[in-house]
Amino acid sequence: MARIVAAMSGGVDSSVAAALLAREGGQDEVVGVWMRLHPDGGEGFEQTRSCCSPDAADDARRVAQMVGIPFFVLNLEREFESRVIDAFTDAYLDGATPNPCQACNQYIKFDELLRRGLAAYDADRVATGHYARITQEGGEYRLLRAADPAKDQTYFLWVLDQAQLARTRFPLGELTKPEVRAIAAELELPTAAKPESQEICFVPAGDYRTLLEERRGYAGDPGPIVDAAGTRVGTHTGYAHYTVGQRHGLGVALGEPVYVREVRPASNTVVIGRRDEVAARTFTAEGRRFVAGRPPAERFKASVRIRHRGTDVACEVTLVGDDRFAVETVEPVWAPAPGQAAVLYDGDVCLGGGRISRAA
């Protein structure tokens, strides 16, 4: 009998995904796995709620008990620290905007869990509670947006390749969030009414500045805020505290809203601009990957999304060298931020993407 690993975070989505697989029965034996990704606070510590806290492990275990599947904890703290947390702080110190959920998918869920976890549990596939769909056409796997466009998570999944898709299942791909909650309520899962987790699991209260200080000794060194012409218009608390597109916390009053346009680590400078100056019609991306394993063409029409829950903009993509592609959009996109993903679609099909490059 084939065995499938259900990655369980303790949230409602992965709980329902595991429950659906277990209910399906028959072909697959389901094994629930909660990944421990960062340490708790030690003796007598009261854990705050986060998707990867021991509280979440308790919830995941209760769900596994209720749906009648074995449950294990897989410790991936070391891997998560180097591939996700360190990459996160690296990005800020590099003046870029990190993409930790994508890194977690790429290196933890669909890499470490797939390989090490599958060896431990002798399983051949892994299932998660992501909202996305996988189809197979003529021996080729395709990654499709979720049926519920409001929940679609392909923005974080474009890094998956054919081998990974072949071993992955997304049981929630055809469902809407209300349907998922209804199933959880019907099965009386303890996670049914859990609030949506929005913050980054290892950044309490979204305070990444403290993380930079604690992990990298970066306390911030004040420096100039300049406008497009290079005129100093204010002082910032340290370049790594700012990301492209940011509006709040600049302390600059120029009579109209201004936004971070560029972060320059070398000179500890933050460049701001008016709304129209922060938008762009062209940008490039690096580290390109295509779900099919190859690009559709050297030059092709697609739509591009540059942030989760962002809008798709029609564009033309041109491959550059071995690793990059240039994007030209039909209308300006708001604040392409270096480090964030530019994900390419053909309708509902996620083609792949790349990391937005620093402006040349």
Partner 1 sequence: MTVYLDHAATTPLRPEVLEAMLPYLTEHHGNPSSIHGSGRRARLGLDEARETVARIVGAKPREIVFTGSGTEADNLAIKGAAWANSARGRRVVTSSVEHKAVLHACAVLERNGFEITYLPVDRYGRVDPADVAAAITEHTTLVSVMYANNEVGTVQPIQEIGSVCRERRVLFHVDAVQAAPFLSLDVDDLQADLLSLSAHKLGGPKGAGALFVRQGTALLPQLSGGSQERQRRAGTENVAGVAGFARALDLVQADANAREEENARQAALRDRLVDGLLALAAVELTGHPAERLPNNASFLIEDVEGGDLVAALDLEGIEASTGSACTTGSVDPSHVLLAMGIDEARAHGSLRLTLGRETTTDDVDRMLDVAPRVIERLRGARAEVAATASAAPA
Q: CA of 214: how far to CAs of 89, 98, 203, 207, in Å? A: 11, 18, 12, 11
43 binds partner 1 (CB under 8 A): yes
113-172 binders of partner 1 (CB under 8 A): 115-116, 118-122
320-339 binders of partner 1 (CB under 8 A): none
Q: CA of 228: how far to CAs of 163, 259, 269, 276, 278, in Å? A: 46, 11, 12, 12, 10
CB-nearer residue toward partner 1: 50 or 246: 50
CB-nearer residue toward partner 1: 72 or 334: 72
Non-local CB neighbours of 151 within 8 Å, separated by 6+ positions: 131, 176, 177
209, two tokens: 């500045």
5 binds partner 1 (CB under 8 A): no
> What is the smallest separation between the CB atom of 105 and partner 1, expressed in angstroms?
17
Using a 10 angstrom Cβ sphere, with 0-12 exposed, 13-18 middle and 19 or more buried, the burial of residue 278 is buried
54-83 binders of partner 1 (CB under 8 A): 54, 57, 70, 72-75, 77-78
CB-nearer residue toward partner 1: 112 or 152: 112
> What is the smallest separation between the CB atom of 318 and partner 1, expressed in angstroms?
23
**What is the CA angle 99-100-104, rounded to 5?**
125
CB-nearer residue toward partner 1: 79 or 227: 79
Mind telling me the catalytic residues?
104, 201
> What is the smallest separation between the CB atom of 167 and partner 1, expressed in angstroms?
13
Query: Could you give the dihedral angle defined by the CA atoms of residues 313, 314, 319 and 320, in that order, rounded to the nearest 10 degrees?
Result: -50
7-36 binders of partner 1 (CB under 8 A): 31, 34, 36
> What is the smallest separation between the CB atom of 107 and partner 1, expressed in angstroms?
10
Which phi-psi region, left, alpha or beta, contains residue 255 (left: φ > 0; alpha: ψ -120 to 50)? left
Binding interface with partner 1 (CB under 8 A) = 3, 31, 34, 36, 39-40, 43, 54, 57, 70, 72-75, 77-78, 112, 115-116, 118-122
